[in-house]
Amino acid sequence: MGITSLFYDGPVSCSILLTEYFGENNQIERGHRYNIYSLGLIKRALIEKGYTDIHWQRFDIDIDLPVPESRLMGTYTEQLIDGRRLQVSGPILMPWYFIYARKS
């Protein structure tokens, strides 16, 4: 089985509700959600479902993405000193991971 989503390699999960303001009158767009899940909790849930061979890998993007002109949500990259790039969307870091799991 394969899973890809936003994950954190620690005992923390986040549920984020976004509000974007756009246009001349700062019209409000609500209801966008971002969830970041704890890898440990996902691993435990997979084990409970009978998966024993579980691995994950962080997705490291290797291209530069520009900041959106609107400054609203939209993925762009920031480069670290070590050359790795962080994916950011609006004010949120985007910690993408791939999870691979199989039952024995």
How many C-beta neighbours within 10 Å does residue 16 have? Answer: 12
Query: pLDDT-derived band of residue 32, with 50, 70 and 90 as boundaries?
Result: confident
Q: What percent of the chain has pLDDT over 70?
A: 98
Phi, psi of 40 (to 5 degrees): -60, -40
Distance, in Å, from the CA atom of 5 to the CA atom of 1, rounded to the nearest integer, reads 14
User: What does the pLDDT read at residue 68?
Assistant: 92
pLDDT at 19 over 90: no
pLDDT at 27 over 90: no
Do 104 and 3 contact (CB within 8 A), yes or no?
Answer: no
pLDDT at 6 over 80: yes
Average pLDDT value over all residues in the chain? 92
One-letter amino acid of 46: L
Distance, in Å, from the CA atom of 76 to the CA atom of 87, rounded to the nearest integer, reads 6
pTM for the model stands at 0.85
Identify the domain containing residue 75 by its residue range. 2-102
Number of domains present in the structure of the chain: 1
- Label residues 29-65 b or e (16+ Cβ within 10 Å = b): eeeeeeebbbbeebbeebeeeebeebebeeeeeeeee
